[in-house]
Structure formats: C-alpha cells, structure tokens
Amino acid sequence: MMTSKAIYPGTFDPITNGHSDIVTRASKIFDRVIVAVASNPSKKPIFTLEQRLDMIQKSLQDLPNVEICSFNSLLVNFAQKKQANILVRGLRVVSDFEYEFQLAGMNRRLAPNIETIFLRPAEQYAYLSSSLVREVSLLGGDVSGFVHPYIQLKLTELMNNK
C-alpha cells in the first residue's frame, strides 16, 4: 500500500495560525506531512533556523503525523530525498496566485512526478502573514490572535532583547 506524503515548505518566520491551519488540514488529507523549514538567509529572518524549528515543533506537537525538519536545497530535490510527491502551498489572496503558479510550473518542469496542491487557510487567517505578525509585534501590538501562545512568548522575548 502506498502512503501519501506531502511537504509544506516555508520560511515560517514565525509560523502563524494561518500556517498551522494549513498543516492541520493537510494532516487530515495525507498520511504524513513534512513541514519543511527553509533556512533562507536571503530573506534575513528575525529568528534563527533552530528557533523556527523549535517554535513549529511546539505549536504543532498535537499532530502525530506531522514531521518538522529543515532544508537548504532545491525544494524538489528535498522532496525526492524525503520520498514525497506532493507539495502543499497556501493561497491567501489573489496576489499570492501568480507567484505560486510560477513556482508550481517550475517545480513541475524540474520534477514532473511531484504535484503541487493549494489550500486556502480559514477565512479569519486569509490576510495573515509572518511579515505582518512581525511588524505588529515590533510595534508593540497584540499578536495573540495570530500565533500560538509559545510563538507570542518568543516574539515578546525577541522584541524585549532589541
């Protein structure tokens, strides 16, 4: 019997409730979901890779079929290494579509055996992004409705140390 294994890639700087919603829903569709955290230094993340992995682990610990790991390679190569043939991508708003459509096309060209599927987060998270959460937190706003309590604590700690 073939098991379905999907990868949900991202920088997750930090993981938001919108990301968690996508992972939770994907975990009900696929036997195994790998949350693949891109090291992505070009994006200049505010959290280290280790911090992001820790925060994701804590916020998704109730999902037994979810694995969290990092990668620093071409996504399709990582997927092949993990023997996953499905990429899960979140689509919040129409403006996400063009970029995601280009990525899916490139990934299909590089690895025709890997499919990309798109999931929309729940309505209340459709506007939410890591960059918005970072900005609200940096300016002293309440992000409790946007992130897991552990992530809120880590954002507060980070902002207090700046």
Instruction: Please tell me which residue in 32, 92, 108, 120 is annotated as part of the active site.
Output: 92
19 in active site = yes
Instruction: Please tell me which residue in 19, 89, 148, 154 is annotated as part of the active site.
Output: 19
How would DSSP label each residue in the chain? -PPPEEEEEE--TT--HHHHHHHHHHHHHSSEEEEEEE--GGG--SS-HHHHHHHHHHHTTT-TTEEEEEE-S-HHHHHHHTT--EEEEE--SHHHHHHHHHHHHHHHHH-TT-EEEEEPPPGGGTT--HHHHHHHHHTT---TTTS-HHHHHHHHHHHHT-
43 in active site = yes
109 in active site = no
148 in active site = no
Instruction: Please tell me which residue in 27, 130, 134, 137 is annotated as part of the active site.
Output: 130
Instruction: Please tell me which residue in 43, 81, 131, 144 is annotated as part of the active site.
Output: 43
Which positions are annotated as active-site residues?
19, 43, 92, 130
